[in-house]
Each structure stands twice: as structure tokens, then as C-alpha cells.
Amino acid sequence: MAHVKHMKWWGWGEEGVHFEFSNKPAFAPFVKRALGVDLRPRERDTIDFSTVSVPAPRLETDLLDTLGGIVGDEHTSTDDELRVVHWAGKSVTELLLTRAGDFARVPDVVVYPADEDEVARVVALAVERDLVLIPFGGGTSISRSLQPSPDEERTIVSLDLGRLDKVLAIDETSGLATIQAGVLGPDMEDQLNARGWTLGHFPDSFTHSTLGGWAATRSSGMQSDKYGDIADIVRGMRVVRPGGTVVLRPLPSTSTGPSLREMFIGSEGRLGVITELDVQVHRIAEHREVIAYMFPSWPKALTAMHDIARSDVSTTFARVSDAHETAFSLSTQKAATSLKKKVAAKGQDLLWEVMRRRGWDTDEMCISYVCFEGTKAEVERRKKTVASIVKQQGAIVLGSGPGALYDQKKFDTPYLRDFLLEQNTIGDVSETAAPWSKLTTVHKAVYDAAQRAFDEQGKTGWIMSHMSHSYHSGACLYFTFGYEIGQDPHAEYAVIKSAVQQAFVDAGGTLSHHHGVGMEHSAWMEQDVSPEGVRLMRSLFEVADPGANLNPGKIVS
């Protein structure tokens, strides 16, 4: 079998890695206060695969042989657990269905091509035999862009790109790297770092997602302020389609009609299989620091973030949590065990006391992290400018200690959702982007909508948010919400998630800044890009894929 790393079948990340709260004394009281839930110690470390039953593969034996003839028998599989690993991404809906073994339809076979030629032969076979082909990167989709339609009658092939995992070349003069699409984030960074380069693209899902997946979902990483979204980073690509391969050369810019590059970015497997990308890479920064600041209120914090974005200071990221998310962050602090940590904790208590004396309402304070990269001198200069901007809004500089901690913990949070599910509690996220002039309105509209949805269902719910990913004209607002699961998990989730999504578009935001559309968000597409926009997109998919063989039903139904 192909040596490709996969996440656990029942949740996020690696077996044996969990969110742990026993070493975080403020966490259980916080959850009780916010959600009314009494946390229990974790009862199990894994879920036994034999607790679920998987529909038998539906495929003709000659098809398995034919696929084996293309990629090698050892690179095809009809194994139940592997098919379940490939059946869906990691949205809450999918996690609930997976844990319950509620699989309407799973891929019938998983194939692992070794190169573009094998991908092309599998794509041609899919059209010839009328199969459904779903490209699979790391399986981290959070918008149901992998899950097959429940009533799909045809044989479903999951095309796992995991063996296409190499950095092929670096044009060191231009800072352009040619990289295969199936490489996982950490493997790619290792290969680039070994030659002194970085892509600088770090989504929260970085550890388990792939370059091809990022391009196919129009991803954005936490350092997009400096490195850009994936749409800015990708300069060229190769896309295998039923009729041939589209080759877009790496060009800094071009005026050759509507952009095919833009058309493939975000196409979620519906227009072909991305096999290779040319991406802008950067020399690893000489010096990097993340500095934390505390603001007295959300409006002041947002003003400071906007002032940073419109100043001439280049930050790698600038983000700020609202008061609810700040309270959550503080609740996840570990118990102070060493003398050094005890002194730091005492220092924090004293700082809060000083703030109260200054008239701060500590329930309203908002923590912010700003990252600086460059030479030591550049970083010092930028830190000074940002300090003067944030001080105009009354912020206190907390320094690099909390910033370093944030930097280390940034990829741990995804494990929290599985932990909460075990506690019969939903914790999920929805994100948007809006112009600076509308961010406050969007923030309030989402809070109000979520509260109404919680009230409607008699739930004690919690919502929190941060602002990140700044642009000249606006920024992303990222919301996390939670509540205890009741009688009908899917119906309750639909009400709350829909309320949040609808508030985005009603208040002037987009349905998603970086999670993509899939099946989860397609209901809002007409409101996002207009009915005529959806008609145009649908026509494109119909013409580009008349047999609906390529990941049908995603983005627009």
C-alpha cells in the first residue's frame, strides 16, 4: 500500500494526540460558565473502527484490475477504514456522521497515482466508464467538499494525491518553486527550508492539508498579511482534465483574457485535478517575533488593526480576539508549575489589577498578536511604530512571552472539537471577510443572530471571534460557537450555522473568506455572487464536465 499519511478515521489529526484540560485549571469553570456543561475527564483515547459498519464497495472487479493496471495493484484499495478516511472532510456535520457510522455513500475505491501521467489515465477512465472522481488532498475540508452525494449511484473513486509530494525545482532568481500538488504542509516546508526558502502559507490545518488542496479551496494562511492568500501565491499550475492538461506557466502577471489560474483556484475538484503548482517562495526571515498587546475594548482594538493595515508597517500577521475569545484564551492557560511560571502568573494578576485601577473593564479586554519578520533592525523599527499605533487606542504591550506561546500552540486548537464532541458539545467555526466600514456591523449581526438561534432552541450558547487577514479594504472575521448537543444534533446545528452564515451575507460579508463552499455553503452562493453569477458558474461546470464525473454537486448544485 502507498505510504501516505492519513488522519484518524474518526476525527482530527494523529491517533494519540488530544486536547487535555486537566492541566488547565480555568478551562472547566469557563466551559461551565459559557455553555453550562460540566466537563468529564476523557474516557477513551480512540474509537474502535469495528463500532461502525461500512457499505460494501460497489465496483466491477475488472475496474479494480484496470485501476491497478494504471497505478499498480498495491496503490489501489477497497479497505473499509481507508474508504472511510477518504469519504469526507472534518466539518462538524461530517464528524457527527462519521462517529455515528452514518455513511450514505463512501468512495468504492481509493487510488494513489504516482505522477501526472497516471492521474491523466485515471481521469480518462472516469469519463469513459462514467465514474465519479473525487480528488483528495489531506482530507481537511471543513465545507463538505469531499463528501459524495448520498444518492450517487455510480462507482466513486477517491483519487489521493499523496504520492505527488516533491518540491521539484526552485528558480532561485525569481523565488518560484515548482511543487507537486499532494505534498502535505510540513513535508513541503521541510523540503523548502532545507534550501533556505519558505512558502509562508500556514492555515490552521497546515499539518494535515496539501498544497493542491489549498489551491482547490482558495485557502488563506495565518501569515497572509505578508505572504498573501494562496490565490496570490500560486503563479502557475498544471491541471489534468478529461481532454488534456491545462498548463499555466509561472508568470508574474499577464493580461491574456479572463484568468484561467483564478478559475482553477477554488474549483474544489470540479474542473480537473491539479497536479503541480508554481508558487512564490521567500527566503526564511532572519528574525521573527510575535508581540502580544491587550486592548481595553473591541472597537479600540479594531481601530488599531485598521490603522496598522493602512500604515506603511509590514506585519506578517496582525490579529485581535474579541472579549469573548480573549476570555476563552485565558481559560486555556496551563497551571503554573515551575517557579518561573508562578512568577509570570503573579505578574499577570498584578497587571489585571493595574488595568482595573485604570478603569478598564477586564471582561471587555481584547488580546492581540502581531508578528514581525525581517532583519533585527527592521523588526525593532516596525515594533516601535506598531507600539505607537496601539498605544493611541489605549493598549498595553504585553511583550513577546504570550506571543511565543501563541506561536507554539497555533496548530493544537483543531483537536478541541473532537474533545468537545466527546463531552456531547459542539464547538465549530464560520468565517467571513468584509470591508473595514462593515466589520463592526457584521460582528454585531453575527452575535445577535447566533444568540437568537441559541434562544430559539433553549440553549446556553457561546460565540467568540477574532479579526485576522488584513487587506487594504477590509479583513476577515472568524467566529467560533459552541453549545451542548440536544435531541437532534443535525437539525440544531443547521439552525445555528445557518443563522451565522445568513448574518454574514445580510450584513455585507462573504459566505466564506477561506473555507470554501463545498456542499455546506452552496445555499448562500446566489446571495454571494448573484443568481446570474451562479448560472454562469453552473454553465462552466456543465460544459467543462458534461458527464458530471468530477466531484459533482460541490460549490453550486
Ligand X SMILES: Cc1cc2nc3c(=O)[nH]c(=O)nc-3n(C[C@H](O)[C@H](O)[C@H](O)COP(=O)(O)OP(=O)(O)OC[C@H]3O[C@@H](n4cnc5c(N)ncnc54)[C@H](O)[C@@H]3O)c2cc1C
- Across the strands, what pairs with 276? 180, 238
Q: Does 210 bind ligand X (CB under 6 A)?
A: yes
Tell me: does residue 316 bind ligand X (CB under 6 A).
Answer: no
Binding mask 47-86 for ligand X (x = CB under 6 A): ----------------------------------------
* Of positions 21, 30, 87, 136, contacts ligand X by CB under 6 A: 136
Tell whether 101 is in a known binding site.
Answer: no
CA–CA distance, 63 with 481 (Å, rounded to integer): 45
**Residue 209 known to bind ligand:** yes
Q: Closest distance between ligand X and the C-beta of residue 136, in Å?
A: 5
CB of residue 446 vs ligand X: minimum separation in angstroms?
Answer: 18
Toward ligand X, which CB reaches closer, 35 or 146? 146
Per DSSP, which regions of 154-225 are E strands? Answer: 156-160, 167-171, 176-180, 197-198
| Residue whose CB is less far from ligand X, 137 or 374 | 137
Candidate residues 214, 295, 369, 493; the one interacting with ligand X per rule CB under 6 A? 214
| Greatest pairwise CA separation for the chain in angstroms | 77
Q: Report 166-185 residues binding ligand X (CB under 6 A).
A: 181
Burial group, residue 440, by CB count within 10 angstroms (0-12, 13-18, 19+): middle
Map residues 252-281 to x or -, x wherever contact with ligand X holds by CB under 6 A.
----------------xx---xx-------
Among 11, 57, 135, 296, binds ligand X (CB under 6 A): 135
H/E stretch holding 467 reads strand 462-470
Interface with ligand X: number of residues (CB under 6 A): 37
* Cα–Cα distance for residue pair 327/247, rounded to 1 Å: 49
Say if strands 197-198 and 282-283 run parallel, antiparallel, or are unpaired.
antiparallel
Q: Establish if 89 lies at the interface with ligand X (CB under 6 A).
A: yes
Q: How far is the CB of 441 from ligand X (least distance, A)?
A: 24
Q: Name 468's Cβ contacts closer than 8 Å, sequence gap at least 6.
A: 222, 317, 318, 319, 475, 476, 478
- What the block records as the C-alpha cell of 75 is 496503490
Q: Which residues of 245-275 are buried (b: 16+ CB within 10 A; e: fewer)?
A: bbebebeeeeeeeeebbebbbbbbbbbbbbb
Q: Does 134 bind ligand X (CB under 6 A)?
A: yes
91 neighbors 138 (Cβ within 8 angstroms): no
What would the grid cell of residue 88 be? Answer: 469526507
What residues are paired with 246 via a beta bridge?
239
**Residue of 190, 192, 168 lying closest to 179 (CA atoms):** 168
Give yes or no for a contact between 288 and 315, defined as CB atoms under 8 angstroms apart. Answer: no
- Applying CB under 6 A, among 57, 148, 213, 250 the residue interacting with ligand X is 213
Q: How far apart are CA 515 and CA 503, in angstroms?
A: 17
Chain positions 527 to 556 lying near ligand X, rule: CB under 6 A, are 551, 554
- Among 1-9, 121-129, 514-522, 525-533, the segment contacting ligand X (CB under 6 A): 514-522
136 annotated ligand-binding residue: yes
Distance CA 399, CA 409 (A): 17
Write b or e for each residue in 87-110: b if 16 or more Cβ atoms lie within 10 A of its Cβ, otherwise e: bbbbbbbbbbbbbeeebebbbbbb
Spatial distance between the Cα atoms of 357 and 176, rounded to a whole number of angstroms: 53
Q: Which of 137, 200, 296, 553 binds ligand X (CB under 6 A)?
A: 137
Q: Does 158 help bind ligand X (rule: CB under 6 A)?
A: no
Query: What distance in Å separates the CA atoms of residue 484 and residue 423, rounded to the nearest whole number?
Result: 8
Query: Is residue 452 marked as binding?
Result: no
Nearest CB to ligand X, comparing residues 382 and 417? 417
- Is residue 274 annotated as involved in ligand binding? yes
Nearer to ligand X, 216 or 370 (CB): 216
User: Contact with ligand X (CB under 6 A): which of 147, 205, 316, 480?
Assistant: 205
Q: Using the minimum distance from each CB to ligand X, give the nearer residue, 163 or 382.
A: 163
Considering beta carbons, is residue 393 or 551 the nearer one to ligand X? 551
Helix (H, G, I), strand (E, B) or coil at 557: coil
Residues 409-468 within binding reach of ligand X (CB under 6 A): 414
Phi then psi for residue 25, to 5 deg, are: -60, -25
191 belongs to the binding site for ligand X (CB under 6 A): no
Q: Which three cell numbers stand for residue 440?
A: 463592526
Asked if 112 is part of the footprint of ligand X (rule: CB under 6 A), the reply reads no
Q: How far apart are CA 331 and CA 328, in angstroms?
A: 5
Q: Does 107 bind ligand X (CB under 6 A)?
A: no
Q: Does 90 bind ligand X (CB under 6 A)?
A: yes
175 annotated to a ligand binding site: no
Q: Which stretch binds ligand X (CB under 6 A): 205-213, 247-255, 318-326, 469-477?
A: 205-213
DSSP code for 210? B
Closer residue to ligand X in complex, CB, 215/313: 215
415 among known catalytic residues: no
Binding of residue 515 to ligand X (CB under 6 A): yes
From 138-146, 289-297, 313-321, 343-351, span contacting ligand X (CB under 6 A): 138-146
Which residue is catalytic, options 112, 227, 293, 478?
478
Q: Where are the alpha helices (DSSP H) in 467-510?
A: 489-506
- If the CB atoms of residues 323 and 429 are measured against ligand X, the closer one turns out to be 429
Q: Site for ligand X (CB under 6 A): which residue of 76, 77, 141, 326? A: 141
Give the interface with ligand X as residue ranges (CB under 6 A): 89-90, 134-142, 145-146, 161, 181, 203-205, 209-210, 212-214, 216-217, 219-220, 268-269, 273-274, 414, 514-516, 551, 554
What residues act catalytically? 478
Binding residues for substrate: 417
Binding residues for FAD: 135-141, 204-210, 217-220, 268-274
Binding residues: 135-141, 204-210, 217-220, 268-274, 417
